[in-house]
Structure 1
């Protein structure tokens, strides 16, 4: 297993789920094992976990870049980047880019962002959408602020063997850490194999799924243009920069 961020091959594996959350979500032993890998398997070279590595791959693939993410951020330094909340281990890499903006809750509400239309080449967030009351509206906002040829790339906790469900009407469930009672960590949506539907409902025309150590690492990406047009725009951008 090789890290797409730094190229490292050494990982430390930690268990992160606690029994209370496992019971609330009715998580099986096999599901618990890959979710622990998703969140708790850390590259010893750069500190990125499995979901961050899948996210890095999704971003690079949009621009047909083959290499390490830490090199991608230097080569594509002029991209206008919107990072919504800190994207786990990728934050350090994204923060090195000249035109990266960090939007953090509660100052910035993902459902009503204060940015003009077509402001960013890349919008990225990691394990944030499940905490949003209206995720389709939030994804629509991400689409609105993207430039032509830009891409939205994000992760959510996905249990691949079931369908997405809303937690409306259920007891509150929290991410973060055991015993945390802050409403910032309340989970509104439990995502399953049909997680792509919300992207289409938000107005995107196509969705891509990127994996790393499947099913532990899953990232979702969607462009403001179709796959062929996005590729042409990406090649044009590279040609101009070169």
Structure 2
């Protein structure tokens, strides 16, 4: 099923973005040339706009990133963005295995915990995370750490599944929900359903944050609320159950965070 024909901000080609028939998670439709999803492409688009002030495809901006020595940290070691940037000397990526310490390596990939990063203060111009914050047990710790490792005026570019008709809530006492994870059989637990107050929450941590809705597929009232349809969640493949828009957040460090970790 073709969702759209447009520019891919990963490979730079005009492409059909397609997904399996009758799917609802349309932000995961992929480019026929490089397999980047709308979410990947939209993230790259904002990364390049943040880096060079232009919405240039990532594949066409590699030389600029090298010349400008922009330091980038990404909370993902595989996928369309890491595949293009991993050879850059100023790019660092990691995954998270809870049995390892931050800074350890597994199969040549650095391990890090967003709640306790192994990097020095003021190390990076850009931090990238795609659908990570909802899986962190203590997100306030991660937000403080992101602020710490960013340089002043540095930016966290990120995505989350945004619940556009409700406020943020912890899933600590709710029925368990898991999202797919290539590193973990059975998926990864969702700790937070991020909602309409996310900007206010993040800005407490020394940031100035706004969101860019780049692909709108659903009205806010159509966005998935798992607790209202939990049996459907259990019975349905994720691509045929979830409904989220492709929204990218741009969160700029304007001061050091002085909040203690919990």
Which TM-score bucket, shorter chain as reference? Answer: 0.7 to 0.9
Matched, 1:76 2:76: no
- C-alpha change, 1:157 and 1:86, in structure 2 (3 Å) is farther
Distance in 2 between residues matched to 1:162 and 1:139, nearest whole Å = 21
- C-alpha change, 1:154 and 1:16, in structure 2 (3 Å) is farther
Matched, 1:105 2:96: yes
Distance in 2 between residues matched to 1:16 and 1:93, nearest whole Å = 29
Give yes or no for contact 2:215–2:246 (8 Å, CA) kept in 1: yes
Give yes or no for contact 1:137–1:202 (8 Å, CA) kept in 2: no
Distance in 2 between residues matched to 1:87 and 1:49, nearest whole Å = 14
Partner of 1:135: 139
Give yes or no for contact 1:82–1:124 (8 Å, CA) kept in 2: yes
**Deviations for 1:168-204, whole angstroms, at most 9, x for unmatched residues?**
1112110007xx865x600001122332233112221
Residues 1-242 of structure 1 correspond to what in structure 2 (within 5 A)?
A: 1-15=6-20, 33=24, 36-39=25-28, 41-63=29-51, 64-77=53-66, 78-86=69-77, 88-106=79-97, 107-176=111-180, 182=186, 185-204=188-207, 206-215=208-217, 216-225=245-254
Give yes or no for contact 2:82–2:93 (8 Å, CA) kept in 1: no
RMSD: 2.4
Partner of 1:25: none
Displacement of 1:165 in angstroms is: 1.8
Give yes or no for contact 2:85–2:91 (8 Å, CA) kept in 1: yes
Q: TM-score, normalised by structure 1?
A: 0.76
- Give secondary structure in 2 for the equivalent of 1:147: strand
Displacement of 1:15 in angstroms is: 4.5
Q: Which ranges in structure 1 are unaligned for 5 or more consecutive residues?
A: 18-31, 227-242
Distance in 2 between residues matched to 1:99 and 1:16, nearest whole Å = 40
Give yes or no for contact 1:153–1:219 (8 Å, CA) kept in 2: yes
Q: Which ranges in structure 2 are unaligned for 5 or more consecutive residues?
A: 1-5, 98-110, 218-244, 256-262
The structure carrying a bigger strand percent of its residues is 2
Count of matched residue pairs: 205
